[in-house]
Structure 1
Amino acid sequence: MPKLSIIIPCYYNEENIPVTTNALLANEASFPADVTIEYVLVDDGSKDGTLRELLKFKSRYPERVHVLELAGNVGSYNAIVAGMAQATGDCAVIITADMQDPPELMLQMYEYWLKGFKLVIGNRQDREETGLQQLFAATFHSIMKKIALANIPDGGFDFVLFDRQIREQVVKMQERNSNLFYLMVWLGYPYVNIPYIRRKREIGKSRWTLTKKIKLFIDSILSFSYFPIRAISILGLLLGGVATLYGLYIIILKINGSNEPAGWSAMMVAFLFVSAFQMVALGVIGEYVWRGLDASRNRPLYVIKNKF
């Protein structure tokens, strides 16, 4: 009998939990009768009533609902890894608690898994959100596709179904400051993607702040691409070449007895530009160095306060 684990990271989702769990329970009717479904819900350090709502759901289905309470907020990706480590299914699916991803897509994803695909991706073909949210998402995934992982689907994704083998490998890697979903693609398994339109959030307020988006963007690039370092090297060589040519020009003028060109303003502009470039270069290198230091500490990605 196949077993499916549904992993849900929760952060300030007190109002969402009753609606989401009822929708997921209703969606179970579409699966074959021989499929066993368990739920692994992870409270990522919420300070509202999220844990209380999760425990209410647990009390209704004590045998197949598992609730993890983390000691503090570690981010949705680390919370998902905590859920993956506790899941026991033959395959697992990750879905958010805000009901922006359609649960009814799970059956189609599960059917692809039965056909042998170890990774099935629900990619966002379009969004009901408008404005900066849509612009940021489109720009982010377009850049990542060009400079990091060319084989990721268009539109981005965080709604996936994956085999136990992928789950075990991701948990074993304990990758930090990275993009969990890109990591699954990076493993190299053939996958199939199912496009869908992401719904607008109807309940509660998103905690996916601009600061977190920027951090994810930086983490994703530095984890899967050497482009920043290579760009620094190329630009440094170009600046060095320009400086060498200009130096030769000054020397030739000096040898010929010509007056040196008046260029204080131009020189200061060049100096400030090079200085700014050096600071940016040090910042990029520092990001790589910090990630190496963070990995070397070998601190846990999360701390479980309670298991229910």
Structure 2
Amino acid sequence: MTTPPDKLICAVLPCYNESGNIAPLYERITAAFATIPDQRYTLLFIDNASTDSTVAEIKQLAARDSRVSLIVNARNFGVLRSGLHGFLSAPGDALITMVTDLQDPPEMIPAFVNKWREGFKVVIGIKPESRENRLMFLIRRAYYKLIGRLSEVPLIENFTGFGLYDREVVEQVRATGDRYPYFRGLIADLGYPRAEIPFIQPRRERGVTSNNFYSLYDLAMLGITSHSKVPLRLATMAGFCLSAISLLVALGYLAAKLLFWYRFPANTAPILIAVFFFASVQLFFIGILGEYIGVILTHVTKRPLVIEKERVGRLEVER
């Protein structure tokens, strides 16, 4: 089965303080689509309340190109919520998601479209190599391997979300009702046959990444808690084991005291060590439970993904 070329593709472009990257990104995307002139396309920027000139630059593009549209959030709702809102709001028969810092090469668009036309509903970019900071790349790679081992479904290594998704996939994501998904894991969980295209991720040339330790930690914990029950089961098993060890130690101290009543003083040091050790273990596993409870809370509160401040351009395109 092949996809007709007259179908519409929407490039979804989440952004936050990307002044200086917007114009080069637009030029490279339009140049990529120019190599497939029979393909209709549109661009949707979703801005997460930028504090620089990002919104003004996008509005300038929209004023001269009707294919460009923009959603501006009322405040910064975070990368995941803002990106998902753009993903679910975009028109088109297929969506291409990419970051606006030019680390997802727009030149891969023709390859994505060709695979989509061949019948693949999911076409993704895989980055086995990266020119980013070497230490960060190794940490990310180790994390992908860790979550791959913990996950109940086979996850995709070195996948950042960059790719093309058919409208059927978009509607399946909407149907899950997940307001805070680990998108990379969700795509793997849906199980659609996919085409994988490798690329070398370039170094960021302009601006500063908005990711910090907290956002990266949040994403890492979301990936683990969304797709694995292994930490909970480890906590349960460790609880049983530590309880058994505690009982044996207590019985050992009791026997030693009974056998060597005058030569075995019941000092407070062993008691304090045991108390602090088991207290730290309990706090650690309470923290794990808290992460899972936090995920549940996010799902049941049913807050809107974002509140929009304004829209620019046409989001409803005739199909």
Structure 2 SS opposite 1:281 = helix
Q: Which residue of 1 aligns with 2:260?
A: 258
Q: Which residue of 2 aligns with 1:241?
A: 244
Q: Which residue of 2 aligns with 1:288?
A: 292
Q: Which residue of 2 aligns with 1:42?
A: 46
**Residue 85 (str. 1) matches residue 88 (str. 2):** yes
Question: Aligned match of 1:306 in 298, 303, 310?
Answer: 310
Q: Which residue of 1 aligns with 2:125?
A: 122
Does structure 1 retain, via aligned residues, the 8 Å contact 2:156–2:184? no
Structure 2 SS opposite 1:18 = helix
CA distance in 2, matches of 1:280, 1:98: 37
Q: Which residue of 1 aligns with 2:213?
A: 210
Q: How does 1:46-57 map to 2 (within 5 A)?
A: 46-57=50-61
Of all paired residues, the percent bearing the same amino acid is 27
Unaligned 5+ segments in structure 2 are 1-5, 313-319
Deviation at 1:80, TM superposition (A): 1.9
Q: Deviations over 1:17-48 (max 9, x none)?
A: 011101111111222x3210111110111111
Unaligned 5+ segments in structure 1 are none
Q: Which residue of 2 aligns with 1:189?
A: 192
Q: How does 1:96-245 map to 2 (within 5 A)?
A: 96-148=99-151, 151-245=154-248
CA distance in 1, matches of 2:214, 2:32: 34
CA distance in 1, matches of 2:117, 2:196: 15
Task: Kindly provide the amino acid, as one letter, of the partner of residue 3 in structure 1.
Answer: L
Deviation at 1:235, TM superposition (A): 1.1
Task: Kindly provide the amino acid, as one letter, of the partner of residue 26 in structure 1.
Answer: A
Give me the CA root mean square deviation: 1.8
Task: Kindly provide the amino acid, as one letter, of the partner of residue 183 in structure 1.
Answer: L
Structure 2 SS opposite 1:126 = strand
Q: Which residue of 1 aligns with 2:7?
A: 2
Report how many residues are paired. 305
Does structure 2 retain, via aligned residues, the 8 Å contact 1:17–1:97? yes
CA distance in 1, matches of 2:154, 2:125: 15
TM-score by length of 1: 0.92
TM-score by length of 2: 0.89
Structure 2 SS opposite 1:243 = helix
Deviation at 1:253, TM superposition (A): 4.2
Structure 2 SS opposite 1:104 = helix
Structure with more contact order per residue of length (Cα contacts < 8 Å, sep ≥ 6): 2
Structure 2 SS opposite 1:121 = strand
Deviation at 1:92, TM superposition (A): 0.9
Deviation at 1:251, TM superposition (A): 4.3
Does structure 2 retain, via aligned residues, the 8 Å contact 1:174–1:301? no
